[in-house]
């Protein structure tokens, strides 16, 4: 278990981005995402996280009705402006979009990772889809996903995933130093959920948490903003508030991580268990 106490060799600056997206207008949303990449790069970020289904909005019935129109894949030309922004700035991005499951032909809610050269690096499919998503025909993902950038290991999550402590725990037990959440927290209860769930996942696992939320209407919801970064002790490190567009930019510190993981670390307790789902593992160049 010593590897769970090990910290990366150098700090890493990350950002959580938020903005209002245009319903089902993939090209317009890609342009906004590319702009957020450039804004994050201007503030020194090596990695940007964006909200759930940011490239289409949370337009579930339309996506299910026309999956060939509204799902994206790693080689989709509509992603080219975003890839160019990553390549031009050297900033990687985790952006959420619907994808198509090749086996079932049903859509999934996914996170696509483009590396600092704009190349596709990884895909994570949301494991914990909520009852509404399941009812309209979305397919859950089958496993977790760990990505590594500059020696920092991150577990990927999409919205409701973060409500399950075991999901973040599985990432931490895989050696992740941080937990990246693309979310849609509604403004009626979202601020409370953000203030409860995100620091809990950080404190539970002595991990950094980076959460990106919507700021405007998306499907039947209206995002409350509040994209933020939490320290491994659960305290808040950066907060975008209600800015639209907005960024929460933070420097992840190996020493702070090592301090949080010293002493009585819950993750090394022999009674601890986590789901034995398979995990994909990818390095972001």
Query: Does the CA dihedral 252-280-273-7 come out positive or negative?
Result: negative
State mean pLDDT over 272-285. Answer: 80
Average pLDDT, rounded, for the chain: 95
Supply the pLDDT for residue 195: 97
Query: Does the CA dihedral 14-19-24-29 come out positive or negative?
Result: negative
- Asked whether residue 273 carries a pLDDT value surpassing 80, the answer given is no
Helices 165-173 and 190-205 cross at an angle (nearest 10°) of: 30
Model confidence over 115-161: pLDDT tens digits? Answer: 999 999 999 999 999 999 999 999 999 999 999 999 999 999 999 99
**Could you give the 3-state DSSP secondary structure of residue 83?**
helix
Cα–Cα distance for residue pair 170/133, rounded to 1 Å: 23
pLDDT band at 2 (very low <50, low <70, confident <90, very high): low
Q: Which residue has the tokens 């207008």?
A: 25
**pLDDT-above-70 percentage for the chain:** 98
State how far the alpha carbon of 111 is from the alpha carbons of 1, 32, 88, 183, 262, in Å: 29, 17, 21, 11, 32
Supply the pLDDT for residue 271: 78
DSSP class of residue 176 equals -
Model confidence over 69-91: pLDDT tens digits? Answer: 999 999 999 999 999 999 999 99
pLDDT band at 98 (very low <50, low <70, confident <90, very high): very high
Supply the pLDDT for residue 100: 96
Model confidence over 193-210: pLDDT tens digits? Answer: 999 999 999 999 999 999
Cα–Cα distance for residue pair 170/187, rounded to 1 Å: 29
- Assigned token pair, 253: 């510190």
Confirm if 96 and 51 have CB atoms less than 8 A apart.
yes
Cα–Cα distance for residue pair 122/245, rounded to 1 Å: 26
Cα–Cα distance for residue pair 235/257, rounded to 1 Å: 13
**pLDDT-above-90 percentage for the chain:** 88
CA atoms in the 13 A half-sphere facing the CB of 1: 13
Domains and CATH numbers, the chain: 14-262+279-283 (3.60.110.10)
pLDDT band at 276 (very low <50, low <70, confident <90, very high): low
State mean pLDDT over 21-45. Answer: 98
**Could you give the 3-state DSSP secondary structure of residue 257?**
helix
Backbone angles phi, psi at 88, to 5 degrees: -75, -25
Q: How many Å is the maximal CA-CA distance in the chain? A: 52
Residue among 173, 174, 164 at smallest CA distance from 141 = 164
pLDDT, greater one: 255 or 271: 255
């Amino acid at each position: 278990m010593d590897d769970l106490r090990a910290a990366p060799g150098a700090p890493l600056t990350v950002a959580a981005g938020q903005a209002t997206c245009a319903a089902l207008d993939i090209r317009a949303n890609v342009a906004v995402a590319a702009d957020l990449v450039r804004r994050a790069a201007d503030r020194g970020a090596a990695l940007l996280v964006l909200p759930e289904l940011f490239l289409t909005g949370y337009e579930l019935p339309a996506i299910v009705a026309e999956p060939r129109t509204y799902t994206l894949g790693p080689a989709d030309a509509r992603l080219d402006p975003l890839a160019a922004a990553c390549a031009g700035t050297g900033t990687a991005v985790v952006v959420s979009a619907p994808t198509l499951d090749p086996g079932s032909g049903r859509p999934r809610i996914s996170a696509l990772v483009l590396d600092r050269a704009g190349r596709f690096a990884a895909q994570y499919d949301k494991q914990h889809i909520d009852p509404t998503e399941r009812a309209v025909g979305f397919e859950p993902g089958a496993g977790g996903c760990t990505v590594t950038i500059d020696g920092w290991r991150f577990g990927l999550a999409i919205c409701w995933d973060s409500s399950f402590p075991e999901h973040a725990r599985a990432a931490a037990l895989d050696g992740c130093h941080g937990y990246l959440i693309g979310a849609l927290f509604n403004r009626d209860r979202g601020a409370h959920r953000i203030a409860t769930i995100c620091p809990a996942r950080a404190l539970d696992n002595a991990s950094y948490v980076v959460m990106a939320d919507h700021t405007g209407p998306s499907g039947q919801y209206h995002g409350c903003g509040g994209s933020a970064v939490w320290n491994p002790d659960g305290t808040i490190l950066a907060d975008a508030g209600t800015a639209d567009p907005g960024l929460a930019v933070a420097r992840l510190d190996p020493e702070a991580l090592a301090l949080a993981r010293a002493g009585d670390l819950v993750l090394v307790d022999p009674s601890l268990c986590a789901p034995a789902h398979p995990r994909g593992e990818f390095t972001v160049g």
